[in-house]
Each structure stands twice: as structure tokens, then as C-alpha cells.
Chains A and B, each alone.
Chain A
């Protein structure tokens, strides 16, 4: 039992170490180092030995010394004997091994004897692995987008693996792609169109949704239950089946290539979820306030503007942010309805740009950064509001 657990622990720890070092190697390669192999076999042996020695020498050496000794040995072995690599790479390796050894420090022969110890260890390492893996998989494309937008055409072709940012070219060189897309591709105008469309959608949606949500939440009328259930069913209906009829109708009415057309469609598609989210919140406002207001002979307009809206600012802002993000990110309708570059939104403009095979990729990525940044900024800044919106209105897309 003891031997089996020891070996299992060492194996799990070794695989984790190999994963850590491999990720570091990939990152180093992407910074322009030439690393051709992972040396997995060698790392396997080293990692296994480190884990074993760690268990054997557990109480005899202070943890700090142990970490330093193991890390130094590893760096000397890997960085100077196998491959000759720059100092920053070796410092990184040192820190990784240091982190690794301090992670395995809490395990010793005593807790290996406990019930389910290998499963606990596996769970712990899987969690750590998951955190690193998912951070890498999610953040890497965003990082790539950003870095590519800072590169020049030649640099991209010479070494597609070089993802370092070359600060030597100065600010002007660094932001060259951005200057170009604003100057020759008219991105300033697209930003304005996108902003008008998104903000306009938010305002109109709220104007329509607040009264409707109030009625659904508070008033009794024939068809109320039908209305509130159909809201969600309508919301599940896909945009793609609306496209052809709307296209033909909008063509005949001359609403294509117009901001008004987009505003109408965006408002209609976001209204159901806005009503749904708002009525849920309105229901939680105490009724007594309105009853007092009715005694004061306040009209429904007064009730909504003087009582409901001030009390539900958090919910309204959450809906507003959510609708803004839907409208800003929307692509399908802007693809169908806009074919005149004068009325493009940002998303449509980027798609149009990519349609030309000659367009350099760094321009495409600069455009992508421009369309992504506001959304991520809003999301990170207002995360608290938005997460509740995402869960309530999650049926979208």
C-alpha cells in the first residue's frame, strides 16, 4: 500500500511537472526562442526523482532549502546541460520548479497512508492543472489578437512563432495598424455607427420594456399569463429564420442599409429578455409603496417614473449593459442588412475587411482588438451587474 501510493503520488506529481514545464517551453518558443523538443523522457525521470527524494528527505531539510536545491539542480541540468538558453528562461524554470516543490511540500509519508490519499492528490493536481490549462487556452487567443495587431507584415511572415512585442519600433510603429485602419479603412466612422446603434437599442429597449415589464409584474389583465409565457418562447426563436422575410420586407420598405432598420430589429430581438429580467425585479419591490402612491392619486406614469425606476436602478443598469453587449456584438443582421460601407457597424466592417484576401492580418487583428476591448472593459468593470444578467438572460446566443 505504501509503495503503491508513493509511486502513484510521484507519477501524478511528475505529470503535473511535465505539464508545467511544457507550457513554459511553449511560451518561451512563442517569445522567439528556438526550442525544438520537450525532452519529456528526461523530465519524466527528473520529476519522478524529485518527488521521491522529496518524500524521503521530507523532514530532514527545511522546505525552503529543499525547494532551492531542487530548482537549482533542475535549472542547471535543463538550461545549461541540455539546451543553452537565455537567463530569463532559466529564471522562469527556477520559479516553476520552486512553485512545484512548494506545492508537493504538504504531502509526506504520513498523509499518503490516509484513506483515499491518491484520489485527494489527483483532485488537487487536477484542479491546479485545470486552472493553468483553462487560463492558457482562453487567454492565448486574446493575447495573440493583441500582439498580432502590433506586428508588421514582414515580421509575421518571417517567424509566425514570434509573439514578443517589439518595443524598439517605437509607439508609432507599434500602433501602425491602428493608424492605418482609422485612416484608410474609415474605422472611426464604424465605431460611431456601432455606438449609435448599441446605445440607441439600449434606450429604445428600455423605453418599451419598462412599462411592459411593470404591467406584467403588477397589473391584472386578460392575457397576462399568455404574455409572460410567450415572452420566453419567442425568445427561443432563432434569428436565422427571421432573416429572409425581414430582408425582403426591409428591401421593399427601403430600410436596408439604414441605422433605423438595425435599431428596429435589435430592439425587437432584445425586448423579450429585457422584459423578462425587469419584471422579475419589479416583483421584488414592495407593493405598499405603490399603494401609497395610488392614494396620492399618482398616475401609472408617475408610479413608474417616481417609484419603480429609482428603486430598480441596479436591475435597469444590468439590463442596459446586457442589451448593449448584444447589440454591439451582433453580426447576423448587420451582415444581411448592410452592404453599403457607409452604414457598416464594426463587426460588419471587420468581416468586409477579411473578405479581401489582400488585407494584411495585422489590420484585421487591430480591428478585432477595437471591437473586443469595449466589451471586455465593460464586462470586467461591471461584472457584478452583468453576471446576474447573463444568468437570467442566458438563452441568448
Chain B
């Protein structure tokens, strides 16, 4: 009895979880494996369209003969590179139609025209013509005739399914001069974006944790950048930073802080001299990181605030009795209490910043030194139309991510052991 109960429970559980598991498998796990497959192939964007036989039906009346009609099919192979084999053709006609001339490749039975066109090479085109006559001499309805669509079928190779593999994509990705630069840019973007958003998160959480008028309002305002759509925010920032008529540059010029406008999103380097030392700052990248921090510090804020509110008040009261200063209280009590949250946040944000695509894409499109790995996936795959290369870059991202996760958990595991 117990056994059957456990069995039905199992069965129920599988039925309940199956739809979700299947969908996630098909859309998330399968593509990750497919990526591996594609990354070893030479595939371009135009190759992935399956070649199709197509026909355009044109109905023409023959002058002075209302019972006769000419039908022209413009046949073609949709693909410019691949052939289609064993093309078959089918079209239906009204019940009073008789064929006048029959092409040797075709059969006309039961008012159904069937043809076997054989193999069509790439770019193949043919004008195929048939003439019909009504057997009762009635008038022909051209519109109705046109509304019947012919059916075509054919076999072709799917370039994705053959077994020609190459290492070319990975060679190109890894040994290209730009790869180091790409990695560094991605790393700067990820690291400073993560650290910045956590620092701002700590500051704002500390701030909102105090009592002041309008505190709940402040809490929702702080989350606005995180919940608003990225498209709207990126374009607003672009307007704000625009060198020609952007608000920020106009303000700075108005107050005579700068003389000529700075193209914050379009200039790769800016020279800064501090104490006699000349620095080259990656300007556009810094701006993009600023946007990143601005948009994602609310998440850190939310996490840290939740943690701060859970710290027992007694700790601070005891510190007050001991005469601790506000800064001592922050560094000795608050900070140790939030380290665990910060390390989780660091991992989450690091992974997500590492994969961030939309923000950089919308702000700079990857120009002026802001090309990160995810942007490169898009550029290789869709701008240069090299799907294989795009996939190879995706694989590099996945491998780096797995490495990062591995080290993170190893470090974290060590720390847990020590405590």
C-alpha cells in the first residue's frame, strides 16, 4: 500500500514538473549544447535559411477566348547557395477545367496538376506555363483561380546538420590580437561596475536605514533605475551626455568648467594630468560603467538594506555605552554584519555584468573601446553575419563564467570552513 502511494506520488510529481522541465530544456539547455556544435562549423547568417522551392502564380486571360486561360508559374529556388532535390509541385483547379498542353514532367488527374521537376541548383529560375480550357465554355473567375495556392516540396541539406567541423572559429577568436583587449575591456566593465554598484548600495542603504521624513518615498525612488526599461533609460542618458546639445555638456560650458564639449560616449581616451602625472582614462568605457552603476546599485541597496534592518539594535546600544564613534560603529559593527550579503551580491552582479549586453549596445553599440564579449557575440553573429564565430565567442563566455563560478565557490567554501 505504502509502495503504491509513493509510486503515485512520484508519477504525479513527474507529470507536474514535466512541462516546465521540457520547456526549459528546449529553450535554455539545448541551445547551450547547440552552441558547441555551431561553434565548430563555418556557418554564415545566409546559410541558415533552409532553401525553399517557390512559385508565383500569374493568371492571364487569352484575348477573345473567355473559356481559355493561361497560367504562368514563376518558379525559383529561394537559396542563392544550395540546391534543392526532387522538387514536386501540386496545384488544384475547378471541376470544369481541362488542360490544353501537358508538360512531359506533369500529370493531370482529377483536376489536380502534379509535376516532378527534379533537382534545382542554387539561384534556379524557370517560367512554367500551362493553358486551360473549360469543358462547358463558361466564363473563368480569375480571382478565385488565383486564390488557390500551389504546393511545392523538395529536399535539401541543412548546413547545420552535416558533419563538417573546423577549428577555424576558435583560432580566430583566441589568437586574434583583439582578444586580450576584449577580455580586458570586459573585465574592467564587469569589475568596476560591480564594485561601484556595491559601494553605492552600501552608502544608500546606510542612508535610508536612518530615520528621516520621506524615507519610504526615498526607498522607492532609489529603485526606479532598476525597474525602468533599459531602452528608455539608455536613450535618456544618451541625450543627457550628447556632445552637441546634451544637457551635461551645456551645463559645464555654461559654468565655464570646460571650454569645448566632451564626447563622453564617443571618445575612447581622455588625457588627465593629476599632480604632474599624465593618465589616459578610457572615457567611453568609464561612462558606460557609470551608467551600469547607476542602473544596478539599487539591487545592492535593496539587499544590504534588508540585512541592515536585521542587525540587532543591542549591538549599537552597547557600542554607544562604550563610547564608539559613528565611523567605528560602521566599520566594527555594520561592515562585518554585511560581508556575507556583499559576497553574494558580488557574485551575482559579477556574473550578470559579465553577460550584460543591452546597456553597452544601446549606449555606444560597442564603439570607442567599449566592446565587451557579449557585444562581440552580436557583432560577429549579426553584424559580420558569421554565426559560427558568434557561437565560438559564446562558448568562450560560458567557459569563463564556469571558471569564475568554480573559483568563487572554492574560495567561499574555504572561508566557510575557516569559520
User: B-side interface residues toward A, CB under 8 Å?
Assistant: 6, 9-10, 12-17, 19-21, 23-24, 26-32, 34-35, 38, 43, 48-50, 158, 160, 203-204, 207, 210, 212, 218, 220-233, 235-237, 239-240, 245-247, 250-251, 254-256, 294, 299, 302-303, 306, 323, 325-327, 348, 351-352, 354-355, 357-358, 361-362, 374, 377-378, 381-382, 387, 390-391, 394-395, 397-398, 401, 405
Shortest Cβ distance from residue A52 to the other chain B in the assembled complex, whole angstroms: 24
B17 touches A212 (CB 8 A): yes
Given that A212-B20, A264-B27, A268-B28 are contacting pairs, would A394 and B348 also be in contact in the complex, using a CB cutoff of 8 Å? yes
A119 touches B325 (CB 8 A): yes
B28 touches A242 (CB 8 A): yes
Complexed CA–CA distance, A361 and B242 (Å):
11
B23 touches A145 (CB 8 A): no
A367 / chain B contacts, CB cutoff of 8 Å? 232
Instruction: Indicate whether A85 reaches chain B with its CB closer than 8 angstroms.
Output: no
Given that A215-B13, A268-B24 are contacting pairs, would A135 and B236 also be in contact in the complex, using a CB cutoff of 8 Å? no
Instruction: Indicate whether A3 reaches chain B with its CB closer than 8 angstroms.
Output: no
Given that A127-B210, A208-B19 are contacting pairs, would A390 and B391 also be in contact in the complex, using a CB cutoff of 8 Å? no
> Looking at chain A, what size class is its interface with the partner chain?
35 or more
Complexed CA–CA distance, A160 and B247 (Å):
6
B30 / chain A contacts, CB cutoff of 8 Å? 245
B17 touches A227 (CB 8 A): yes
Shortest Cβ distance from residue A264 to the other chain B in the assembled complex, whole angstroms: 6
A376 / chain B contacts, CB cutoff of 8 Å? 224, 227-228
A131 / chain B contacts, CB cutoff of 8 Å? 207, 212, 218
A120 / chain B contacts, CB cutoff of 8 Å? 325-326
Closest A residue, CB atoms, query B374: A240
* Of listed B50, B229, B254, residue having the most chain A CB within 10 A: B229
Shortest Cβ distance from residue A80 to the other chain B in the assembled complex, whole angstroms: 21
Complexed CA–CA distance, A332 and B377 (Å):
12
A141 touches B236 (CB 8 A): yes
Instruction: Indicate whether A50 reaches chain B with its CB closer than 8 angstroms.
Output: no
A242 touches B32 (CB 8 A): yes
* Of listed B15, B306, B362, residue having the most chain A CB within 10 A: B362
B203 / chain A contacts, CB cutoff of 8 Å? 130
Closest A residue, CB atoms, query B218: A131
Q: Per-residue 0/1 for A152-164: is the Cβ within 8 Å of any B Cβ (1 yes, 0 no)?
A: 0000110011010
Complexed CA–CA distance, A242 and B327 (Å):
46
Instruction: Indicate whether A397 reaches chain B with its CB closer than 8 angstroms.
Output: yes
Given that A227-B21, A268-B23 are contacting pairs, would A390 and B221 also be in contact in the complex, using a CB cutoff of 8 Å? no
Instruction: Indicate whether A48 reaches chain B with its CB closer than 8 angstroms.
Output: no
What are some 21 contacts across the A-B interface (CB < 8 A)?
A134-B204, A142-B224, A144-B239, A160-B250, A208-B20, A212-B17, A219-B16, A222-B10, A238-B352, A238-B354, A239-B355, A241-B355, A241-B377, A241-B395, A242-B27, A350-B232, A371-B229, A376-B228, A379-B224, A379-B227, A391-B303
B224 / chain A contacts, CB cutoff of 8 Å? 138-139, 142, 376, 379
**Residues A284-323 near B (CB distance < 8 A):** 300
Shortest Cβ distance from residue A218 to the other chain B in the assembled complex, whole angstroms: 9
Closest B residue, CB atoms, query A221: B13
A-B CB proximity, top 7 nearest? A238-B355, A268-B27, A368-B232, A245-B31, A245-B34, A221-B13, A116-B325
Interface of B: prevailing SS = helix
Supplied contacts A119-B326, A212-B17, A396-B352, 18 more A-B pairs, CB within 8 Å = A30-B251, A138-B225, A211-B16, A211-B20, A215-B13, A215-B17, A240-B377, A241-B395, A244-B390, A245-B31, A246-B31, A248-B34, A269-B28, A331-B358, A347-B231, A368-B229, A391-B302, A395-B348
A300 touches B12 (CB 8 A): yes
Shortest Cβ distance from residue B25 to the other chain A in the assembled complex, whole angstroms: 9
Complexed CA–CA distance, A111 and B328 (Å):
19
Closest A residue, CB atoms, query B389: A244
Given that A115-B325, A241-B398 are contacting pairs, would A397 and B352 also be in contact in the complex, using a CB cutoff of 8 Å? yes
Query: Could you say which of B29, B48, B235, B397 contacts A248, with CB atoms under 8 Å apart?
Result: B48
Closest B residue, CB atoms, query A364: B235
B48 touches A251 (CB 8 A): yes
B387 / chain A contacts, CB cutoff of 8 Å? 244, 247-248
A365 touches B218 (CB 8 A): no
Instruction: Indicate whether A29 reaches chain B with its CB closer than 8 angstroms.
Output: yes
Instruction: Indicate whether A70 reaches chain B with its CB closer than 8 angstroms.
Output: no
Instruction: Indicate whether A83 reaches chain B with its CB closer than 8 angstroms.
Output: no
Shortest Cβ distance from residue B210 to the other chain A in the assembled complex, whole angstroms: 6
B228 / chain A contacts, CB cutoff of 8 Å? 142, 329, 372, 375-376
Q: Per-residue 0/1 for A29-57: is the Cβ within 8 Å of any B Cβ (1 yes, 0 no)?
A: 11000011110000000000000000000
B19 touches A134 (CB 8 A): no
Query: Could you say which of B6, B34, B323, B362 contacts A115, with CB atoms under 8 Å apart?
Result: B323
Complexed CA–CA distance, A134 and B204 (Å):
8
B231 touches A351 (CB 8 A): yes
Instruction: Indicate whether A137 reaches chain B with its CB closer than 8 angstroms.
Output: yes
Complexed CA–CA distance, A18 and B370 (Å):
36
A350 / chain B contacts, CB cutoff of 8 Å? 231-232, 235
Closest B residue, CB atoms, query A26: B251
A249 / chain B contacts, CB cutoff of 8 Å? 31, 34
Given that A271-B20, A361-B239 are contacting pairs, would A38 and B227 also be in contact in the complex, using a CB cutoff of 8 Å? no
B26 / chain A contacts, CB cutoff of 8 Å? 268
Closest B residue, CB atoms, query A159: B250
Shortest Cβ distance from residue A276 to the other chain B in the assembled complex, whole angstroms: 11
* Of listed B16, B29, B398, residue having the most chain A CB within 10 A: B16
Given that A271-B20, A395-B352 are contacting pairs, would A221 and B9 also be in contact in the complex, using a CB cutoff of 8 Å? yes
B294 / chain A contacts, CB cutoff of 8 Å? 137-138
A38 touches B255 (CB 8 A): yes
Closest B residue, CB atoms, query A161: B250
A220 touches B9 (CB 8 A): yes
Shortest Cβ distance from residue B172 to the other chain A in the assembled complex, whole angstroms: 16
Complexed CA–CA distance, A223 and B10 (Å):
10
Given that A212-B19, A216-B17, A219-B16 are contacting pairs, would A139 and B221 also be in contact in the complex, using a CB cutoff of 8 Å? yes
Shortest Cβ distance from residue A67 to the other chain B in the assembled complex, whole angstroms: 18
A375 touches B227 (CB 8 A): yes
Closest B residue, CB atoms, query A115: B323
A271 touches B24 (CB 8 A): yes
A394 touches B32 (CB 8 A): no
B233 touches A141 (CB 8 A): yes
